[in-house]
Structure 1
Amino acid sequence: MSQTFRIPLLVAALLSFSLLTTAQHSDAVDTAIVSKFRKEGFKNSQVMDILSMLTDMNGPRLTNSPGYKKAATYAKSTLEGWGVSRVYFDSFGEFGRGWFVKKFSLQAMEPAYFPVIGYPKAWSPGIKGTRAAEAVYLDVKTEEDLEKYKGKLKGKIVLFSLPIMPKPAFKPDATRLTDSTLLRMANAAASNRAPGSSRRYIAGPPEMLTYKKWRLCESEGALAVIEGSRGSYGTYYAQGATIPTDPATPAAQRFRPQAANAPEILPQLVVAAEHYNRMVRQLEKGLLVKLELTMETEFTKPEDGFNVIGEIEGSDKKDEVVMIGAHLDSWHSGTGTTDNGVGVAICMEAMRILTASGVQPSRSIRIGLWGGEEQGLFGSTGYVKKHLGERAADSVKLTTEGKKFSVYFNTDNGSGKWRGINMQGNENVRSMFREWLRPFEKDGSATLTLNNTGSTDHVPFDAIGLPGFQFITDPIEYFTRSWHSSMDMYERAVEADLKHNAVMLATFAWGAANREALVSRK
């Protein structure tokens, strides 16, 4: 190469380096500010008290239930007490009925007494009073098997599902992400799932056969239907009630159990696998199994769902918004601690840290506590459509507010320590996030991955091209023990990790609120 070309290339390289270092410098974290956040977040933390109020005192928080409304009122008044401005309930549109359990017990009276571990499915009707009834195991593997139960189910409690046999656990329930896993994530190209986050499901009978089993129970006049739960050690997973639906019915025409016009269904409950299987074995040996069931549930009137919104008003760029959020709703058999009381507590604590530290962000920092996430991201989706924009065919139409929106940070993967952040396929944010992670490198939080994550509330933001991110979280015992389970209780939370996460979230929100430009789109 001739000398005449070396000088311009050298100048270009130096200019490129200068621009890179300038960009990095503009995103560099003010260490004095981070020190303030650390002091406030570790010395004066309120994250566990917030979590206890959400879970022990108000949970569970099924959307539109009394528990959800009490928790939302607590969150609103608490944020206002810290000086967060314009805290309000923001409707996300039609949701349906609320529901809660007033009284429940299930006992096996014969052939040997034992209290049965289980719970009603959400939006299931109850029964009047306490009823004693025989149990029948619906041992149906083919449509021909249905015939032998005709005339035998009236007034009976039907054991509906095939047994699920828990296996001895030879691996620990609780784990942290290993260095090798984090390295694989850092080296990965964009993908839809992070390593180590797979969920296991057990295949059931064909959909048409299941539908016909439900119709048989209804037409024969069964008293209630019991399903065996996945899980072990007495843990069970009670989610939404089943609306028996012909498999040929288009998805858009299927009823949701919370819908005001949902058809009448049988009382439904789930039982821990060990107790369910015991009853099945007794019946298979020809013994009489008699159960005593008390199951009082109550529906609330159909109404719109709502989110809790509040913000710390910015200064010179107050019309531009940085947002943090988590879903406030939960399933109902536990108290919704790791899914997602911890996420709400982290977000609220981050807002408290920001206000208590006396800092003034350039952009406004907004919090969103979402409803209806468990039934399909209703709260965050409704908020995005109402305030920020929507996708139509292959184009996106942003509102005026959407055009000034910078970034959304979501938390919804359990109580573990954040080890970095998923960049959601957005290479443009790498250098920015690298700067914001520097104060947390010694804490083991330094991983950047192009991985996408789904199934939670950053997705509606990402879907219209607005930056939305989810943090890489140590699994602890999320999928093995607590996710959607009866054991999703306060004891599952890891205090040190929640403190760390709240400080980290405050730092990311502060960095985004004070950088020169809005966070880069994909």
Structure 2
Amino acid sequence: MIRLFFALLLLGSTAFAQQKDSAMVSRIVKEATENSHLKKLGLELMDGIGPRLVGSPQMQQAHDWAVAKYTSWGITARNEKWGEWRGWQRGITHVDMVLPRVKTLEGMQLAWSPGTNGKTVTADVIIIPDLADSIAFQQWLPNVKGKFVLISMSQPTGRPDYNWEEFATKESFEKMKKERADLTEAWRKRIAKTGYTTRTLPVALENAGAAGVVMSNWSSGFGVNKIFSAYTKKVPTIDLALEDYGLLFRLAEAGNTPKISVRADSKENGVVPTYNTVAEMKGTEKPNEYVMLSAHFDSWDGGTGATDNGTGTLVMMEAMRILKLVYPNPKRTILVGHWGSEEQGLNGSRAFVEDHPEIIPNIQALFNQDNGTGRVVNISGQGFLHAYDYIGRWLAAVPNSIRQHIETRFPGSPGGGGSDYASFVAAGVPAFSLSSNSWSYGSYTWHTNRDTYDKIVFDDVQNNAILTAILIYMACEDESKTSRERIVLPVNPRTGEPGKWPVQTKPTRRGGLD
């Protein structure tokens, strides 16, 4: 009878907990679907503030905006300084071809590029020649004085492969791919024979008196380029769209020397502080144990950083807003980290791990989202042996309409990089990536000039906000503390050595200043 009594008590307790969880999930879904703030947040962040290059005024504006937004929701938030960066502010870039005819070109200066000092610079365009060796290149180098120099290969086609696959004959498609491969290898050798790399060549050109460096970093999609950082210190580095770059290249190669006019405005702002934005809902029963939401806040500035990682940011902010309304007194403390300078090497999250030894050992779980606007379709156990147990239990509370799309991989392997969860995995924290489906992320929005508000798929972002809020709630309520036991990693086939867990890496705390 005693055993039966306790069995019934346990059964009743379990049923009550499940009923309680089900009611909470319903409230989360209702708030997320009937009172979504996602589009308003997206407009304010992506359209109003824009791209968030570390060290830029927009990055600081975004940090302050997030603190104000959390405060308006009754959530404590702060900006935590972790380093300093080269301050730089983008201005207008305007490029025109003026000979042999007039045409406005699509292009922009790269991040941290020098400007043209308020002037419009007009000069001939030349191509890096195919010379015998570095000695011949040094002899040729004075020819760049006063000219814009093309340093990228001219692509044989601006059509992405999927377009060729749909419409070309198989023979034509294969012919194009071979031509492109041959051109790519020939261009690699051409650059190698200069004695410089793609990083050092622009500096050599500016030191030889070039008016500027012109490149095109095509992203294998219609009208889309990757926009990264410049290596020049005195003259502008400009990226042109494939079709306009190809125009200049073909004209120059045919001996019809084109001439372009460039106006590039930018401003150096000296040394500026860098931050993480951290918001907190204090736990009521276990305030010194933490459940974390995570997304990097910074972006490259070719577009507005909408899917990298504006959408991850929106997911975490919306999840926190919902939880504050429906779950204002969590058992464990809920933290959200909006990290700075992820794009330069996970620096903000690495600094947080290094600066908060009082938090890191007590994190129940961390969920990070950072690979585009798509709905979450994969969660890996990151090498934690028992992740299947607690992640499985928490996912069981998620509505099937969301859960059915998610593939789980347990125990998985520890992530050594890629996004900010890896900073925590290296410190032994059960940290997980909420990995999304593609929406052509790699080609069209990852680090590109097309990563803008119109690419956001709000239904999928809403899906992810609901999922995140439920996982955070379940992790807070779980009576057990998560296990940190790790798998034994297999032997590395390349080295023959046993696999090793990723090690903590120190952040770069002074960026672009040395």
| TM-score interval, smaller chain | 0.7 to 0.9
Q: How far apart, in 2, do the equivalents of 1:119 and 1:79 lie?
A: 34
Residue from 449, 458, 478 that aligns with 1:486: 449
Aligned-partner SS, 2:289: strand
Identity among equivalent pairs (%): 29
Following superposition, the deviation at residue 208 of structure 1 comes to 4.0
Q: TM-score, normalised to structure 2's length?
A: 0.81
Q: How far apart, in 1, do the equivalents of 2:204 and 2:61 lie?
A: 40
Aligned-partner SS, 1:150: helix
Residue from 64, 78, 88 that aligns with 2:78: 88
Q: How far apart, in 2, do the equivalents of 1:24 and 1:131 lie?
A: 74
Aligned-partner SS, 2:447: coil
Residue from 13, 35, 44 that aligns with 1:44: 35
* Residue 382 (structure 2) aligns with: 424
Q: How far apart, in 1, do the equivalents of 2:201 and 2:341 lie?
A: 30
Q: How far apart, in 2, do the equivalents of 1:208 and 1:145 lie?
A: 10
Q: How far apart, in 2, do the equivalents of 1:275 and 1:293 lie?
A: 14
Residue by residue, what CA displacement relative to the aligned partner does 1:243-298 show, whole Å, maximum 9, x if unpaired? 6xxxxxxxxxxxxxxxxxxxx34321211122111111001111020101000111
Residue by residue, what CA displacement relative to the aligned partner does 1:365-389 show, whole Å, maximum 9, x if unpaired? 01110100011111000011000xx
Q: TM-score, normalised to structure 1's length?
A: 0.80
Q: How far apart, in 2, do the equivalents of 1:213 and 1:327 lie?
A: 31
* Residue 154 (structure 2) aligns with: 163
Q: How far apart, in 1, do the equivalents of 2:389 and 2:210 lie?
A: 62
Q: How many residues align?
A: 441
Residue from 241, 247, 258 that aligns with 1:272: 241
Matches within 5 A, 1:84-483: 84-85=75-76, 87-93=77-83, 95-128=84-117, 129-140=119-130, 142-143=133-134, 146-147=137-138, 149-166=140-157, 168-169=159-160, 171=162, 204=188, 205-206=191-192, 208-210=195-197, 213-214=201-202, 216-231=204-219, 232-242=221-231, 264-387=233-356, 399-438=357-396, 439-443=398-402, 444-450=404-410, 451-452=412-413, 453=415, 454-483=417-446
Following superposition, the deviation at residue 167 of structure 1 comes to 5.3
Q: Which amino acid aligns with 1:363?
A: R
Residue by residue, what CA displacement relative to the aligned partner does 1:454-479 show, whole Å, maximum 9, x if unpaired? 31001110001111110131111211
Following superposition, the deviation at residue 503 of structure 1 comes to 0.8
> Is the CA contact 1:26–1:515 (under 8 Å) kept in the aligned structure 2?
no
Q: How far apart, in 2, do the equivalents of 1:448 and 1:323 lie?
A: 20
> Is the CA contact 2:110–2:229 (under 8 Å) kept in the aligned structure 1?
yes
Following superposition, the deviation at residue 131 of structure 1 comes to 1.4
Change (3 A) 1:509 1:237: same
Q: Which amino acid aligns with 2:370?
A: D
Ranges in structure 2 where 5+ consecutive residues have no aligned partner: 1-9, 165-183, 487-514
Following superposition, the deviation at residue 490 of structure 1 comes to 0.4
Change (3 A) 1:107 1:26: same
Change (3 A) 1:53 1:496: same
Aligned-partner SS, 1:277: helix
Q: How far apart, in 2, do the equivalents of 1:319 and 1:357 lie?
A: 22
> Is the CA contact 2:158–2:222 (under 8 Å) kept in the aligned structure 1?
no
Change (3 A) 1:64 1:151: closer
> Is the CA contact 1:325–1:410 (under 8 Å) kept in the aligned structure 2?
yes
Q: Which stretch of the first structure deviates more once superposed, 309-318 or 299-308? A: 299-308
Following superposition, the deviation at residue 432 of structure 1 comes to 1.8
> Is the CA contact 2:369–2:435 (under 8 Å) kept in the aligned structure 1?
no
Structure with larger RCO (C-alpha < 8 A, sep 6+) = 1
Q: How far apart, in 1, do the equivalents of 2:155 and 2:135 lie?
A: 23
Q: Does 1:500 align with 2:463?
A: yes
Residue by residue, what CA displacement relative to the aligned partner does 1:274-329 show, whole Å, maximum 9, x if unpaired? 21111110011110201010001112221331100111111011111111010110
Cα RMSD (Å): 2.5
Q: How far apart, in 2, do the equivalents of 1:360 and 1:294 lie?
A: 55
> Is the CA contact 1:164–1:228 (under 8 Å) kept in the aligned structure 2?
no
Q: How far apart, in 1, do the equivalents of 2:111 and 2:363 lie?
A: 36
Aligned-partner SS, 1:39: helix
> Is the CA contact 1:338–1:489 (under 8 Å) kept in the aligned structure 2?
yes
